[in-house]
Amino acid sequence: MAQIFHPSANTVSRVSVFGSLFFVGALLYTGYVLVRSPYQTKVRVIQDQPIQFSHAHHVSQLGIDCRYCHTNVETQANPGMPPTETCMSCHSQIWTQSPLLEPVRASWRDNKPIEWVKLHDLPDFVYFHHGVHVSKGVSCVTCHGDVSQMPLAFKDQPMTMEWCLECHRNPEPRIGPKDQVFAPEALITKDYKPSTGPAPTHLDAHYSGMTNCSTCHH
């Protein structure tokens, strides 16, 4: 019986099979790395804003509390962005002719809100309530990093489901004294050690519901 394929075809077929498996594996790994890279998560990526607002100056140097601008952070899901009136409460008196602040003055003159670029933009199917987390003792720096040291704000954590679940499964190390929730990182002190002592009394006794899908996906 005549041989149709050359013996080398066996080698070619083996190389093709293993090569295909390697290619698929490399493609999956590339996708895995890509979705966790700053290209996708925007972690530590400075994004252009209509105004180059410096948290380092306003928070660290001037001592302005987070709640002065983000007025709803203790009670509502959305912490709120400051209206132009909040900016002008100071800048109608100081730096009144600064070119950098012209967008603020234009917003005030035209009665149009400043269109800030949202840094922490969760998908629409994710429900997050700032007031709930703040009331439990989760500090601003836990999710947002030490904004008091950011000349230009950036996203400090990936905000992925994996990242959120890591905290929900083991929240104690990330919970601190309620009176220090809004303090810059350098001023936060822990009044307990989760690894050796009990959790603060303001924590719930059980966390069984914190990893349920319905907690974040209503």
37-90 pLDDT tens trace = 888 899 999 999 999 999 999 999 999 999 999 999 999 999 999 999 999 999
User: Within this chain, do residues 149 and 195 fall inside the same structural domain, yes or no?
Assistant: yes
For the chain, give the mean pLDDT.
Answer: 87
Helices (H), the chain: 8-35, 38-41, 55, 66-69, 84-91, 102-110, 130-135, 140-144, 161-169, 213-216
**Cα-flanking dihedrals φ and ψ of residue 215, to 5°?**
-65, -40
- 27 compared with 120, residue with greater pLDDT: 120
Q: Is residue 58 part of a domain?
A: no
The per-residue pLDDT for 9 is 64
What is the span of the domain harbouring residue 155? Answer: 72-81+116-216
User: Within this chain, do residues 76 and 172 fall inside the same structural domain, yes or no?
Assistant: yes
User: Within this chain, do residues 25 and 121 fall inside the same structural domain, yes or no?
Assistant: no
User: Within this chain, do residues 25 and 126 fall inside the same structural domain, yes or no?
Assistant: no
Q: Is residue 156 part of a domain?
A: yes
Query: Locate tokens 């509502």: which residue?
Result: 76
Q: Is residue 6 part of a domain?
A: no
Q: Is residue 97 part of a domain?
A: no
- pLDDT tens for 157-200 read 999 999 999 999 999 888 989 999 999 887 787 664 444 445 55
Cα distance between residue 11 and residue 164, in whole Å: 48
Cα distance between residue 126 and residue 132, in whole Å: 15
Q: Is residue 146 part of a domain?
A: yes
Total count of domains within the chain: 2
Give me the amino acid identity at 12.
V
First-last CA distance in the chain: 69
The per-residue pLDDT for 205 is 46
User: Within this chain, do residues 34 and 125 fall inside the same structural domain, yes or no?
Assistant: no
Q: Is residue 36 part of a domain?
A: yes
Q: Is residue 111 part of a domain?
A: no
DSSP state of 109: H
Q: What angle do CA 152, 157, 160 make, to 5 degrees?
A: 135
Q: Rounded to two decimals, what is the model's pTM?
A: 0.79
